[in-house]
């Protein structure tokens, strides 16, 4: 699903109010009955005003009409939720315009956005929860027929978790983007001027970059954390000029993508830890023909370092910030499900030829999908809408 901001500038203040009313109604209703939308929106124009807005929103694909056995009503679409989140970011002056899409995954859209001073940032829109229940029964039973399986809830959890981890990591001095804001299923962060390691064909000193990356895995472990998806797509490599020697380029890895992070105390921690280490080893061997002479690192050694030398437990810090065990469990089940589905149809495309092809041609999306550049988001926030805006504390 692609963010499409084209309809944004045509929405009236009433339309925004009605869209917000549908969102509020969705808290307790899977399908929000039309009279409830009217009641929450309380437009001056009365029911006819609401109906006009409902048609405009439905036409723009922001809400969808649903026919139920008992009543008719509407539900918010991903597009509708995207608009509400953007509206909040705009009202808080974090986003003024939306540029091109720089990344698209099965679980997210990544857009370049800018604030009113023209500073570029990244908007990550989480898209979780298109669940088809093809995996193990426990997952299926856990998620089925539960509010916890709704895409809106799960995508919001992913954003809340990612934002909380980015904040904790950043505070601790880890090389991660600066977390700027979170609303609903989206986060705004600083734009890193660097390519994913996947797109780097060679480096002058693979041993040193390898040591940096293993060092990051161990440093995370010391703070109680495992990234859980530490691969060449989620590590950006920044190239900085050496101040002393301008011919020399310093490579700095920056870590992104945190919704699947787990604690070193997780029941499958060893598996996640080993998988992260293995990912780096495999990539360095295939791409840079580098194999470390040192074995490991091993989970049991890393485990002994957790919390030592006064290292703050970031797994605990994030839980304390309000990301509860229940939220973690809901999200984990959904991510597992999503990964299982994507493994089903993934072709094993990580051999070198494929990757080199990709480097030459740029990423598949960049050329075709540059859309909605500089589209403006209306900034005048209505007093009424302000009051109506759901304050979910995020
Ligand atoms: P996903 O969950 O879909 O994998 P990621 O957070 O890994 O999403 O982002 C996908 C891609 O978008 C990354 O591989 C990277 O190319 C780009 N990207 C994400 N965040 C940033 C950022 N802050 N700065 C620059 N590029 C980014
Ligand atoms: Mg990623």
Q: What is the pLDDT of residues 274-295, one digit of tens each?
A: 999 999 999 999 999 999 999 9
CA distance 158 to 14: 30
Q: What pLDDT is stored for residue 100 in this prediction?
A: 87
Q: Which CATH class is domain 92-193+366-375?
A: alpha beta
**How sure is the predictor about 357, in pLDDT bands with cuts at 50, 70 and 90?**
very low
Q: Judge whether residue 342 has pLDDT over 80.
A: no
Q: What gap in Å lies between CA 272 and CA 14, rounded to an integer?
A: 48
The residue nearest atom 7 of ligand 1, judged by CA position, is: 257
102 lines ligand 1 (CB under 6 A): yes
Q: Which of 101, 104, 124, 339 for mutating ligand 1's site (highest number of atoms within 8 Å of CB)?
A: 124
CATH class of 8-81+379-388: mainly alpha
User: In this model, does residue 111 exceed pLDDT 70?
Assistant: yes
Supply the mean pLDDT for the chain: 83
CA distance 307 to 311: 5
Q: What is the pLDDT of residue 242?
A: 87
Q: Is the CB of 233 under 6 A from ligand 1?
A: yes
Lowest mean pLDDT among 250-264, 319-333, 373-387: 373-387
DSSP H or E segment with residue 64: strand 63-67
- Is 8-81+379-388's fold the same as 92-193+366-375's? no
- 3-state SS assignment for residue 294: coil
Instruction: Say which CATH architecture domain 195-349 belongs to.
Output: Orthogonal Bundle (1.10)
Top-confidence residue, 103 or 349: 103
Catalytic residue flag (residue 229): yes
Does 200 or 386 have the greater pLDDT score? Answer: 200
Q: 144 pLDDT exceeds 70? A: no
Atom of ligand 1 nearest to the CA of 108: 3
Domain boundaries, the chain: 8-81+379-388, 92-193+366-375, 195-349
pLDDT at residue 41, as a whole number: 93
pTM here?
0.85
Q: Which range has the worst mean pLDDT, 13-17, 70-74, 259-263?
A: 70-74
Instruction: Give the mean model confidence (pLDDT) for residues 149-157.
Output: 84
Say which DSSP state 92 is in: T
């Amino acid at each position: 699903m692609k963010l499409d901001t084209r309809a944004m500038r045509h929405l009236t203040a009433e339309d925004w109010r009605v869209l917000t009313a549908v969102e509020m109604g969705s808290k307790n209703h899977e399908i929000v009955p039309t009279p409830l939308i009217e009641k929450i929106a309380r437009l001056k124009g009365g029911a006819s005003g609401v109906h006009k807005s409902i048609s405009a929103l439905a036409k723009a694909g922001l809400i969808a009409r649903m026919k139920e056995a008992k009543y008719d009503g509407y539900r918010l679409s991903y597009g509708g939720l995207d608009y509400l989140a953007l509206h909040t970011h705009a009202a808080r002056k974090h986003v003024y315009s939306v540029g091109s899409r720089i990344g698209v995954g099965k679980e997210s859209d990544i857009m370049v956005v800018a604030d009113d001073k023209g500073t570029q940032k990244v908007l990550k829109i989480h898209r979780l929860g298109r669940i088809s229940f093809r995996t193990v029964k426990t997952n299926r039973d856990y998620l089925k027929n539960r509010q916890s399986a709704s895409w809106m809830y799960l995508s919001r959890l992913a954003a809340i978790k990612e934002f909380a981890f980015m904040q904790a990591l950043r505070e601790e001095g880890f090389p991660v983007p600066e977390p700027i804001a979170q609303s609903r299923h989206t986060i705004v962060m600083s734009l890193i001027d660097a390519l994913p390691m996947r797109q780097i064909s060679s480096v002058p000193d693979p041993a040193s970059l390898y040591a940096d990356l293993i060092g990051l895995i161990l440093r995370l472990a010391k703070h109680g954390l495992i990234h859980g998806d530490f691969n060449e797509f989620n590590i950006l490599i920044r190239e900085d000029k050496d101040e002393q020697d301008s011919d020399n380029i310093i490579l700095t890895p920056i870590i992104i993508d945190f919704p699947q992070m787990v604690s070193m105390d997780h029941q499958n921690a060893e598996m996640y830890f080993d998988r992260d280490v293995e990912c780096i080893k495999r990539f360095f061997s295939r791409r840079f023909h580098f194999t470390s002479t040192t074995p490991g690192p091993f989970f049991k050694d890393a485990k002994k370092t957790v919390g030592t030398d006064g290292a703050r437990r970031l797994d605990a810090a994030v839980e304390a910030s309000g990301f509860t065990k229940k939220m973690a469990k809901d999200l984990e089940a959904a991510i597992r499900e999503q990964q299982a589905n994507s493994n089903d149809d993934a072709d094993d495309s990580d051999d070198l030829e494929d990757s080199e092809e990709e480097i030459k041609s740029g990423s598949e999306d960049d050329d075709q999908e540059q859309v909605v550049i500089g589209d403006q988001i209306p900034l005048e926030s209505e007093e009424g809408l302000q009051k109506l805006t759901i304050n979910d504390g995020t």
